[in-house]
Amino acid sequence: MRTFDDLVDEAATTSVSGWDFSWLDGRATEQRPSWGYQRVLGERLRSVESVVDIQTGGGEVLAGVPVLPPLTVATESWPPNVAKAAAVLEPRGATVVADTDEPPLPFRDNVFDLVVSRHPVTVWWDEIARVLRPGGSYLSQQVGPWSVFELVEYFLGPQPPEVRNGRHPDRARAAAAQAGLEVLDLRFEELRTEFHDIGAVIYFLRKVIWMVPGFTVDGYLPQLRELHRKLQDGPFVATTTRYLIEARKPG
């Protein structure tokens, strides 16, 4: 059995660039939503001429679909991810734009048939409505409320209701409507996530930086040691929440 120090050293020095979680294979598991976002995305892309993928990460999801539209653009703010996305998307004819993830989006009005985003940190609904063509759609899979909060609250303690419910799909529905978009589909699921060793926990919190803001190994060393001991008896189980939303700009 690997020691605490070995697991910590490995997880603390491994690159967390991009949005590929394959490093966690065999160390953590996450149940996937039943709708299959990448499959749904691939189907939508066959029927449009233009798309922008907002906050594309390392471009992994968009690069995994069979066919890209003639005009395919992706935005990303973190420089290591911009380079990684360009490496996988530009050979397929897509354009990767370095963006601040703050409004306004760097595009003209009424440009895209489809705006997509998987797990956006923030959704600027007015900007999405602005860049969509009349009749165009927004398709997104998003992290829902209280997602992996068993892990968050292990480190941070009980969180107030406004934090736990900050990503509720009902809020997304209301925000889309306020921006003038018609919600066509909204699905929500609770899913099971398991962490099997402390290295997986550290890697996850280094990569998904908003879960425990300012997380460092040194800053949470006592909690990590205690969690390592608990993991000897079985996985740490958390609830992941996801929702799929599709909204259309009226023609």
> What digits encode the pLDDT tens for the residues 50-88?
999 999 999 999 999 999 999 999 999 989 899 999 999
Residue 164 has pLDDT above 90, yes or no: no
User: What amino acid occupies position 13?
Assistant: T
**CB atoms < 10 A from the CB of 159, how many?**
14
Cβ within 8 Å of residue 99, ≥6 positions away: 75, 76, 77, 105, 106
- How many residues are listed for the chain in this entry? 251
Q: Residues 98-129: pLDDT tens digits?
A: 999 999 999 999 999 999 999 999 999 999 99
The CA distance from 152 to 145, in Å, is 12
28-30 sheet: strands from edge to edge: 28-30, 182-195, 236-248, 132-143, 112-118, 50-53, 71-76, 95-98
> Could you give the maximum distance between any two Cα atoms of the chain, in Å?
61
**CB atoms < 10 A from the CB of 232, how many?**
8
Q: Residue 77: what pLDDT?
A: 95
CA 215 vs. chain centroid, Å, equals 18
Q: How confident is the model at residue 144 (pLDDT cuts 50, 70, 90)?
A: very high
The CA distance from 241 to 119, in Å, is 11
* Distance (Å) of CA 161 to CA 121, 149, 166: 19, 12, 8
Taken in order of first residue, the domains within the chain and their CATH numbers are: 4-248 (3.40.50.150)
Nearest to 225 by CA among 23, 3, 1: 3
pTM: 0.90
What share of the chain in percent tops pLDDT 70? 100
Q: Residue 55: what pLDDT?
A: 96
Look at 14-23, 112-121, 193-202 and tell me which has the smallest mean pLDDT: 14-23
Read off the pLDDT of each residue in 213-220 and give the average, rounded to a whole number. 97
Q: Residue 9: what pLDDT?
A: 97
Q: How confident is the model at residue 19 (pLDDT cuts 50, 70, 90)?
A: confident
Contact 189, 141 (CB under 8 A): no
Dihedral sign for Cα 95, 100, 102, 104, please. negative
